[in-house]
Amino acid sequence: MFDFEPVARAKLPPWHWAWLSTGGDGSETMQANREGFERYQIRARRLVDVSKVDTSVRLFNQSWETPIFLSPVGGHRTYNPDGELATARAAKSKRHLQVLSTVTTTSVEDVNAARGEPVWFQLYQRDEWGQTRQLIKRVESAGCPALVFTVDLLGGRNMEQFNRVSQRNRQQCGACHLNGQPLTDLRNRPMLNALSVSATPQPEIGTPTWDYVKRLKDATGMKLLVKGIVTREDAELAIQNGVDGVYISNHGGRAENSLRPTVQCISEVAAGVAGRAPILVDGGIRRGTDVYKALALGATAVGVGRPYMWGLASFGQPGVEAVLDILRREFQLIMRQSGVTSVRGIGATQIVDRQRS
């Protein structure tokens, strides 16, 4: 998989690569996400018939061939002309769950058509409740079964390296982005530029709290997940507030610079959830062994973001498919090497925490 990264970097303009590749502050948490997997070792078992392995999982009563899903990433046409359509076709071809970003460069309706079935939708709330409700109703009408409310950026973020590159390339950005401001130019963001001004606006006061989660629950019949949970306390609160799924994430190291990798959050979040809801996780997933370790710690499904975007930027749909193929092949390999024949058999006894051994 790592071979796709330099190809993507060579093909992309500097600003586009900087936005994809950098994290918050000096990208320390992004690096910690990757290094966090080194804490865990895998206990391989022998003389088990592993000629057939079952990698399937169930999420909200739907079966998936693999626990590996495509995390939400905004603006796919920033990296390839076919954008989210290429990603959706790859997800369809390889039968993976896909989560679509609010800041997609392709409408949810067109993505669903390319995918062949509705995707899940990741939600960034708007400053006015009426517009948030418009978004929710649109994706619900499009058939999306799940809404993924992202909360890890509510406190803001500091993208130092991206800001440096953006300043150096302001003139180039001005050629294709309104006023040279790519982050506020919504002309190519169809889920946002279609929002209308409410006749009786309801501006938000302050940032969302758990009361906002209750409001979302009341506004939709879709399953509701909260993305950005990293502690047991918040996992317990999520369940108490009726959340259907908990999504562990620090935005790929682009949110708070906590230096805490998401893989090391799984156990305590799982303790808070206590089996009452599925647990999704992303952040630093680069190999099949990473998927295996995340599942062993208590995750239900494991997401990748940057890797499939490297594939998209490098070769479009075939690149995304190749990345997914590599991950699935590596995951099946470590299952066989470990003597585990189904995802249900992956648990805490299959790994060793080096800090506790």
CA distance 109 to 114: 9
The type of residue at 162 is F
pLDDT at 198: 79
Q: Which residues of 16-172 form beta strands (DSSP E)?
A: 40-42, 57-59, 62-64, 68-70, 99-100, 120-123, 146-150
CATH architecture of 4-353: Alpha-Beta Barrel (3.20)
Residues whose CB is less than 8 angstroms from the CB of residue 128 and which lie 6 or more positions away in sequence, other chains included: 198, 201, 202, 203, 204
User: Residues 16, 76, 96, 251: which is the catalytic one?
Assistant: 251
Residue 239 identity: I
Buried b (16+ CB within 10 A) or exposed e, 128-142: bbbbbbbbbebbbeb
Domain coordinates of the chain in residue numbers? 4-353
Q: Is 207 helix (H, G, I), strand (E, B) or coil?
A: coil
pLDDT (0 to 100) of residue 333: 98
Contact between 155 and 254 (Cβ < 8 Å): no
353 three-class SS: strand
Instruction: Name the 3-class secondary structure at 69.
Output: strand
pLDDT, residue 314, reads 98
- The answer to whether the beta carbons of residues 142 and 109 sit under 8 Å apart is yes
177 annotated active-site:
no
Please state, in angstroms and rounded to a whole number, the distance separating the CA atoms of residues 70 and 64.
13
Tens digit of pLDDT per residue, the chain (357 long)? Answer: 999 999 999 999 888 999 999 999 999 999 999 999 999 999 999 999 999 999 999 999 999 999 999 999 999 999 999 999 999 999 999 999 999 999 999 999 999 999 999 999 999 999 999 999 999 999 999 999 999 999 999 999 888 887 887 777 665 665 666 655 556 666 789 999 999 987 788 899 999 999 999 999 999 999 999 999 999 999 999 999 999 999 999 999 999 999 999 999 999 999 999 999 999 999 999 999 999 999 999 999 999 999 999 999 999 999 999 999 999 999 999 999 999 999 999 999 999 999 886
Question: CA-to-CA distance for 144 and 295, rounded, in angstroms?
Answer: 25
Q: 324, 308 in Cβ contact below 8 A? A: yes
Query: Counting beta carbons within 10 angstroms of the beta carbon of residue 19, is it exposed (0 to 12), middle (13 to 18) or buried (19 or more)?
Result: buried
